[in-house]
Chains A and B, each alone.
Chain A
Amino acid sequence: MISVNSLTKQFGNARAVSNLSFEVVPGVVTGFLGPNGSGKSTTMRTIMGLDTPTSGTALVNGKPYRELNWPLREVGALLDANAVHPARTAYSHLRCLAYTNDIPLARVDEVLGIVGLTDVANKRAGKFSLGMGQRFGMAGALLGDPSVLLFDEPVNGLDPEGIRWVRNLLRGLAAEGRAVFVSSHLISEMALTADRLVVIGRGALIADTTVRDFTALNGPDSVRVVTPDVQSFAAAVRRAGGEVDLVPDDAVAVRGMTSAAVGELVARERLIVHELTPVRASLEDAFMELTRDAVEYRSGGSTEAALIGSGGEGEL
C-alpha cells in the first residue's frame, strides 16, 4: 500500500503539491483525479523516489521508495509510456529492467504476452504506435509482479478498445489483491474504473472518498421527464414537494423526488408523459462543483494562495 503524509513539493516559488495526505489500499482501484497541472504527476514521481519531497513523506509498504529492497518487485509504475530508448527492442528494454531486480527472464516473455505484444518483442520501441507504447509501459509496470501499481494517465491517446482493455486490466489487478493507483483527468473514465477517489486541485487534497459517496454527496440525483404539458406537470410536482427545472431537448428535471414517486404522481394526476428516466448525478458535475469551490477558496486571500495558483505540474 501507499501512504502519503503531509507531502509538499516546491519547485522554486511554485508549490506543486501542498500538504497532501492520503492512502492507497490493496484490493481496490484508487483513482487520482485532478485537472491538468494539479500535481498528480509530481505526487506519483515523488512516490517513486524520482522527485525528492520538500517536506512530508511518501511511503510504499511502509518505506520510502529508495529504501525498498527490490523496488520493481514491490512497485510497478507506468509514469511515461515514452520513457524508453527508441532504438532498443521491447524485449531488450524489459530484459535490462529484469536484471536490475533479479527478475527471471521468463517473466519478460510472460508480461509481453499479458499485454499482447509477443509478436513485436523484437521490434524497436521507437516504432511502436501510441497504443502499443501504452501497452508496453504496462508490461514494464507488471514485470516484477508487484503488489503496488501506479499508472499515470494510462488511457491517454488510446482508442475505445484500448481504454476498455486498460480498465479491465486495472480492475483485474485490484481483484487479485493489489493496490492500484491510477491518475486521470478524465472523470468519466474514473467513474467506470475506480472504487475510491483521491481528488486534488492545485496540489491540495479536495476529497478522499469512494466514487459512490463522491457523486452522492456532491451532485444530487434527478428524474428526467418529457411531457407535452409542462405547466400542469410542474404544478403537480411542486404540490408534491419537488422541484422542476427546464433542461435541454424540451425535457424537465425533477429534483427531490424518486423516479417511483414521480411515476405515481403522474398516474394519480392523470398526466401524459413520454419519457421518465432516473438520472444519476455525474461524477463530472460533482468534480466541477468541488474544484470550483477549491478555486474560490484559494483566490480568497493571501499571497500564498497566489503562489499556489502559479504552481505548475512540472510536465515531463
Chain B
Amino acid sequence: MTFASGRHSSRYGLRQACRAEWAKVFSIRSTWWTLFVTVVGTLVVTALSASSAAHHRPGWYQGFDPTNQSMSGLAIGALAIGVLGAVVFTSEYGSGTIRSSMAATPRRLKFLLAKLLVVGAVALAVGEGLTFSCFALGHAILGSSLVPPWSLTDPGVLRAVVGSGVTIGLLGLMGAAIGAAVRRTAGAIGIYVALLFLLPLLLTKMPGNLARFTPLIIIANSIAAVVRQTGFVSPVVGFVLFACYTVAIILLGAVVVTRRDP
C-alpha cells in the first residue's frame, strides 16, 4: 500500500527548506511592517542628516565626506534588520511553530541554514537597496559638486555604498543567529541592541579605543567612509572583522540549535 505521492526526488533538502522559509517570512504581516520601518526610518534620518549639512559656506566642507553623511540613516536600518532577523527564529520558538518546522525539516543544520540563507538574501537586498537609495537621496539634497567628488565612479565611493549594504545583510544574519541561540524575542533584541549601540558607548568610556572594533562603528567610520578617518580601522580590516563576528555568532546559534531540543 502506498500513501505518499508519486514524486521521487530522493529526499527533502535545502531547496525545499529555503522555499518554505521564504514563504514563511513573507506570509506574516509583521515582516512587511518591519521592512517598512527599516526603509522609511533609514531614509528619513539620511534626509535630515544630509539637510543639516547642506548650504554651508565653502570653508565648512573642509574634510567633509558626503558619501558617509548620506549613510547616516543606516543606524536605523541596522537596528531594524537585526530585529527582523531575530524574530524569524524567536517567533517560531514563541508560538511553537518550531516543532512543526523541525518535524518537516528534521536535520537541524539544514533547517538553520535555510533560514539563514533566506534572512541573508532578504537583508542583503534590503541593505543594497537602502544604501543606494541613501546615496541618491544624499545627492539630491547635497548636490553633486562637492569635494571630494562623490559619483559612484570616484575612488572609494562605490566600495563604501556596496560595502555598507553588505554589512546590513550581515547584521540580518547576526540578528537571526542571536534569535536562534536565545529563542526569546525580548532577549534576542536586547542582546542585539546591546551589541550594536551599548557596547560602543561602554567601550568609549574605557581606555584602549576598543569602540572602533564594534559593528556599528565599523560601518559608520570604516566601511561607509570614503575620506579615511584617523583612529578607526581600514575598510578591509573592518570588513574582515565584521565577517568574523557574523560567523562566530552563527556558529554559536548552530551549536544551540543542534544541541538543545526545541
**Is there contact, CB below 8 Å, between A66 and B106?**
yes
Residue of A nearest to B111 (CB): A100
Interface residue? B52 (CB, 8 A): no
**Is there contact, CB below 8 Å, between B5 and A104?**
yes
Residue of B nearest to A81 (CB): B96
A52 to B107, CA, bound (A): 12
CB distance from A117 to the nearest CB of B (A): 16
Interface residue? B29 (CB, 8 A): yes
CB distance from A210 to the nearest CB of B (A): 23
**Is there contact, CB below 8 Å, between A102 and B106?**
no
Interface residue? A163 (CB, 8 A): no
CB distance from A70 to the nearest CB of B (A): 6
**Is there contact, CB below 8 Å, between B97 and A102?**
no
Stretch binding the partner chain, chosen from B14-22, B55-63, B125-133, B143-151: B14-22
**Is there contact, CB below 8 Å, between A99 and B23?**
yes
CB distance from B111 to the nearest CB of A (A): 9
Which residues of chain B are within 8 angstroms of A96 by Cβ–Cβ distance? 20-21, 23-24, 27
Interface residue? A97 (CB, 8 A): yes
**Is there contact, CB below 8 Å, between B100 and A316?**
no
CB distance from A114 to the nearest CB of B (A): 14
**Is there contact, CB below 8 Å, between A71 and B97?**
no
Which residues of chain A are within 8 angstroms of B5 by Cβ–Cβ distance? 73, 103-104, 107, 145
A102 touching B16 in the complex, CB below 8 Å, given contacts A70-B11, A89-B27:
yes
Interface residue? A68 (CB, 8 A): yes
**Is there contact, CB below 8 Å, between A100 and B12?**
yes
**Is there contact, CB below 8 Å, between B3 and A48?**
no
A85 touching B28 in the complex, CB below 8 Å, given contacts A71-B106, A96-B20, A97-B100:
yes
A88 touching B12 in the complex, CB below 8 Å, given contacts A50-B103, A77-B103, A97-B20:
no
Residue of B nearest to A46 (CB): B261
Interface residue? A86 (CB, 8 A): yes
**Is there contact, CB below 8 Å, between A71 and B103?**
yes
Q: Summarize A's interface: helix, strand, loop or mixed.
A: loop
Residue of A nearest to B9 (CB): A102
**Is there contact, CB below 8 Å, between B97 and A84?**
yes
**Is there contact, CB below 8 Å, between A50 and B102?**
yes
**Is there contact, CB below 8 Å, between B104 and A71?**
yes
Interface residue? B10 (CB, 8 A): yes
Q: Quick one: which of B10, B11, B23, B106 contacts A92, CB cutoff 8 A?
A: B23
State which residues 1-43 of B face A: CB under 8 Å.
Answer: 1, 3-5, 7, 9-12, 16-17, 19-21, 23-24, 27-30
Interface residue? B234 (CB, 8 A): no
Q: Quick one: which of A52, A86, A88, A146 contacts B3, CB cutoff 8 A?
A: A146
**Is there contact, CB below 8 Å, between A68 and B106?**
yes
A144 to B20, CA, bound (A): 15
A102 to B99, CA, bound (A): 19
Which residues of chain B are within 8 angstroms of A107 by Cβ–Cβ distance? 5
How many A residues touch B, CB cutoff 8 Å? 47
Q: Quick one: which of B1, B20, B97, B106 contacts A49, CB cutoff 8 A?
A: B106
0 or 1 for each of A95-111: is its CB under 8 Å from B? (1 = yes): 11101111110010000
**Is there contact, CB below 8 Å, between B106 and A74?**
no
Interface residue? A129 (CB, 8 A): no
A66 touching B107 in the complex, CB below 8 Å, given contacts A71-B12, A88-B27, A89-B27:
yes
A102 to B96, CA, bound (A): 23
Interface residue? A189 (CB, 8 A): no
**Is there contact, CB below 8 Å, between B4 and A79?**
no
Residue of B nearest to A72 (CB): B104
CB distance from B216 to the nearest CB of A (A): 30
A85 to B103, CA, bound (A): 15
CB distance from A175 to the nearest CB of B (A): 12
**Is there contact, CB below 8 Å, between A69 and B10?**
yes
**Is there contact, CB below 8 Å, between B4 and A84?**
no
Q: Quick one: which of B4, B12, B27 contacts A145, CB cutoff 8 A?
A: B4
Residue of A nearest to B100 (CB): A83
A100 touching B27 in the complex, CB below 8 Å, given contacts A49-B103, A70-B11, A73-B4:
no
A-B contact pairs, 26 of them (CB 8 A): A45-B261, A48-B99, A48-B103, A49-B106, A50-B102, A50-B103, A51-B261, A66-B106, A66-B107, A70-B12, A71-B105, A72-B103, A72-B104, A82-B95, A83-B98, A84-B97, A84-B100, A87-B28, A88-B28, A97-B20, A100-B12, A100-B20, A102-B7, A103-B5, A147-B1, A147-B3
Q: A70-B11, A87-B29 are in contact. List 14 more A-B contacts (CB 8 A).
A: A50-B103, A65-B106, A70-B4, A70-B12, A79-B103, A82-B95, A83-B97, A85-B95, A93-B27, A99-B23, A102-B12, A102-B16, A104-B5, A107-B5
Q: Top 5 closest A-B pairs, CB basis? A: A83-B96, A69-B11, A92-B27, A99-B20, A100-B104
